[in-house]
Structure 1
Amino acid sequence: MTRPVLHDYWRSSASYRVRIALHLKGVEFDRVPIDLTAGEQKADDYRSLNPQGFVPLLEMDGKRLVQSLAIIDYLEAARPDPPLLPADPADRAHVLAMAHVVACDIHPLNNLRVLKYLVGPLGLDEAAKTEWIARWIADGLAALEATAGPRSGRFLFGDSPTLADICLVPQLYNARRFAVALESYPTLLRCDAEAQALKAFAAAHPDRVAP
């Protein structure tokens, strides 16, 4: 059987999510680095694989899968053990909501193409860009802290990592890169520490795959 191939960028938080999920599921894979800073995602050969020109792209089971949450949803269906979402519908919705706070509300406003537009066509200086980053990260993390707190265990939901933790850890990595203050989010910090102590999360860390 052909090994899965993950096209990713080492510091992309969406790629980081998929690496974590693959490691948690015990799926061995090869990587094809795509340098976003050099614009390799815009090349014709890559767009022939993923017309949107984003990372990650996972080639697995004869399929080409794009968008990090869709890829993880495929992994959850195709490799159900260990589960990354609860079986109970209400619990599943709770975990998905926490994941979406990161993937839909925080991350899109802080990804590379948005930041390039802020400093390029819109002409924001570095201080204004940093303020933009911190504002949207802080808003999202405050909501996530309040949502997770009452039902958290070792992780954001219970005592096993879920999709919510897979989204949280890369987002906190980004927050630290941009020197966002995190002391107001004790639940998130505790769950982040628990997750990063696991081999699957540690193996996916950008420092482990950096060029």
Structure 2
Amino acid sequence: MAIQGEVATGGNDSSANGALCLHSYWRSSAAYRVRIGLNLKGLKYDIAPVHLVRGGGEQHAPAFAALNPQELVPVLQHGQRMLRQSLAILEYLDEMWPQPPLLPATARERARVRALAQVVACDIHPLNNLRVLQYLERDWGVPQPERDVWVRHWIEGGFRALEALLTDSASTGEFCEGHQPTIADCCLVPQVYNARRFGVDMAAYPLIERIERHCLTLPAFDAARPERQPDAPG
């Protein structure tokens, strides 16, 4: 059942091309990225909650598997279109609704933003998402404390690299690239949320923390927080 999204921060109208519905889980960092992007674009959307744990995981039900054979969230439904993979969805939003842009103007800047986003989405997050942790528990019998060490190890290694990339570039501004939020920030903020959830000491990454703090002052980021979602526990 779809639940009306909570925020539209601008004047974009998706109705001409069909309604937008995001299949999401409140604590999924990949879905969190897309919520930020939708909010930055000022788009109205509904949320169709997919509980990733209850009953073995609603993402494995045949009805959802028909939407995404990978059995992962997010899935963005735009009219009759089904869009999968968070970075692809964010770039789709940018092409369909160019203002405000989620990618900068020049090829060099776009390459840097995509690289920063992929440090999170391709290198850090996949090693720590729910299906990996469930596999470690179910098939290898890895206890919770050791699983948490696993998560922190990969986040900390990725954040060390990300902090260096941000520190070493004059392009870093209030956001990962300059003074407008991009897909890099859409990826960074949810990963910091995950880091804190697993006890990563964020004091070691002052620039990442500073960018995250600034992002969360914007309504689009604030409204996308996990605890503000309609399917978050009461």
State the AA in 2 paired with 1:26.
G
Moved more, 103-112 or 42-51: 42-51
Task: State the Cα distance separating 1:61 from its structure 2 match.
Answer: 4.0
Q: Distance in 2 between matches of 1:15 and 1:111?
A: 12
* Identity percentage of aligned residues: 51
Match for residue 113 of structure 1 among 131, 135, 154 = 131
SS of corresponding position for 1:121: helix
Q: TM-score, normalised by structure 1?
A: 0.97
For 2:22, the equivalent position in structure 1 comes to 6
Residue 168 (structure 1) aligned with residue 184 (structure 2) = no
SS of corresponding position for 2:120: helix
Task: State the Cα distance separating 1:16 from its structure 2 match.
Answer: 0.2
Task: State the Cα distance separating 1:3 from its structure 2 match.
Answer: 2.3
Task: State the Cα distance separating 1:156 from its structure 2 match.
Answer: 1.0
Residue 65 (structure 1) aligned with residue 102 (structure 2) = no
Per-residue CA shift, 1:140-176, capped at 9, x if unaligned? 0111111112231111111111111100000000000
Match for residue 116 of structure 2 among 98, 112, 115 = 98
State the AA in 2 paired with 1:181.
D
Residue 54 (structure 1) aligned with residue 54 (structure 2) = no
Q: Distance in 2 between matches of 1:180 and 1:70?
A: 28
- Over the aligned positions, Cα root-mean-square deviation in angstroms equals 0.9
Residue 42 (structure 1) aligned with residue 44 (structure 2) = no
For 2:11, the equivalent position in structure 1 comes to none
SS of corresponding position for 1:124: coil
State the AA in 2 paired with 1:132.
W
Q: Distance in 2 between matches of 1:62 and 1:28?
A: 17
Count residues in correspondence.
211
Q: Distance in 1 between matches of 2:105 and 2:133?
A: 38
For 1:207, the equivalent position in structure 2 comes to 227
SS of corresponding position for 2:67: coil
Q: TM-score, normalised by structure 2?
A: 0.88
Match for residue 30 of structure 1 among 46, 59, 67 = 46
State the AA in 2 paired with 1:176.
R
Structure 1's consecutive aligned runs of 4 or more residues displaced over 3 angstroms after TM superposition are none
Q: Distance in 2 between matches of 1:207 and 1:181?
A: 21
